[in-house]
């Protein structure tokens, strides 16, 4: 399976605690139940797979998703249940770090489980598959540049980032007041701009992945290198880049902590309902495998 954006998509689809892409509780069940189709489409889109490769990918992804539904979804429901309890009071920095680390650790479980299949599938790639991947990398990099206004003015980038932040917050709280939006804008402006560094990191990881693929015919060596590469997205960052991104994360945590302190009772209730909706969806998805076994 594709080891860069595909694993990120697995996190988005499978690790719902990341809260980044799915905005409605009903959407969770729809997207998760179509994960095999979505991931197969992505694999073909990135690698232009031949029929035999497609068949093998579909077989392995079905097995991975069955494991995930049975073994991981109940854990995610418990994780979100704990988050819901913590969200009933003012969230602390320790709570935020707990959530971040909990998300990362569950991602590492997926990466660890998926590595053997990734090794076997990636070992079948041809030079044409690699060329298709390089072309797709160029496309996604252009898309990131466009969406994050990397070529725009400082004001363009500021406005785009604020729009993204407000959208994420409204998804959880419902409508914000004008005063809340103004305060969020001030806090958002205090966060160092690092989208250009994120783009550099994406491109660095892409180059590393292409270099790893050059060793794919030696499956033992390939597996030893691929497993830690998949599990640790921060490995290999230059110290100054690491420090800048960490500083940005810290200030973003500060923003969200202050946001939750300014929420109205109605907005807090909206957050609780959202979390409960995810928990119910996760439990329903996990229970489905019992009915189908």
Q: Any idea where the domains of the chain sit in the sequence?
A: 5-292
pLDDT at position 285, please? 86
Distance in angstroms (rounded) separating the CA atoms of residues 201 and 280: 36
List the pLDDT tens digit at each of the 293 positions of the chain.
Answer: 333 344 344 433 333 333 333 333 445 666 677 767 767 778 888 899 999 999 999 999 899 889 988 999 899 899 999 999 999 988 899 999 998 898 888 888 988 898 999 999 999 999 999 999 999 999 999 999 999 999 999 999 999 999 999 998 998 999 999 999 999 999 999 999 999 999 999 999 999 999 999 999 999 999 999 999 988 888 899 999 999 999 999 999 999 999 999 999 999 999 999 899 889 988 988 887 655 45
248 Cβ neighbours under 8 A, 6+ residues apart: 191, 192, 194
pLDDT at position 282, please? 87
Distance in angstroms (rounded) separating the CA atoms of residues 276 and 79: 12
pLDDT at position 45, please? 83
Ordered alpha helix ranges (H), 93-177: 93-122, 127-147, 154-173
DSSP codes, 70-109? IIIHHHHHHHHHHHHHHHTSPPPHHHHHHHHHHHHHHHHH
Tell me the whole-structure pTM to 2 decimals: 0.84
């Amino acid at each position: 399976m594709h080891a860069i954006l595909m694993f990120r998509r697995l996190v988005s689809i499978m690790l719902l605690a990341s809260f980044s892409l799915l905005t409605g509780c009903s959407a969770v069940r729809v997207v998760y139940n179509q994960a095999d189709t979505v991931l197969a489409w992505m694999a073909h889109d990135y690698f232009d797979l031949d029929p035999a490769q497609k068949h093998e990918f579909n077989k392995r992804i079905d097995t991975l998703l069955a494991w995930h539904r049975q073994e991981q979804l109940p854990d995610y429901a418990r994780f979100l249940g704990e988050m819901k309890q913590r969200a009933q009071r003012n969230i602390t920095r320790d709570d935020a770090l707990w959530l971040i680390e909990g998300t990362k650790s569950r991602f590492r479980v997926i990466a660890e489980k998926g590595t053997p299949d990734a090794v076997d599938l990636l070992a079948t790639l041809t030079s044409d598959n690699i060329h298709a991947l390089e072309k797709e990398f160029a496309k996604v990099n252009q898309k990131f540049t466009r969406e994050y206004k990397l070529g725009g003015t400082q004001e363009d980038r500021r406005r785009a980032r604020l729009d993204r932040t407000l959208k994420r917050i409204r998804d959880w709280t419902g409508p914000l007041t004008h005063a809340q939006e103004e305060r969020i804008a001030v806090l958002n402006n205090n966060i160092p701009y690092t989208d250009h560094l994120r783009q550099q990191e994406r491109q660095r990881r892409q180059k590393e992945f292409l270099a790893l693929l050059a060793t794919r015919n030696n499956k033992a060596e390939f597996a030893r290198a691929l497993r830690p590469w998949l599990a640790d997205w921060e490995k290999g960052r230059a110290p100054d880049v690491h420090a800048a991104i960490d500083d940005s994360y810290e200030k973003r945590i500060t923003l969200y902590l202050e946001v939750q302190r300014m929420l109205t009772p109605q907005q807090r209730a909206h957050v609780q309902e959202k979390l409960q909706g995810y928990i119910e969806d996760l439990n329903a998805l996990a229970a489905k495998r019992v009915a189908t076994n």
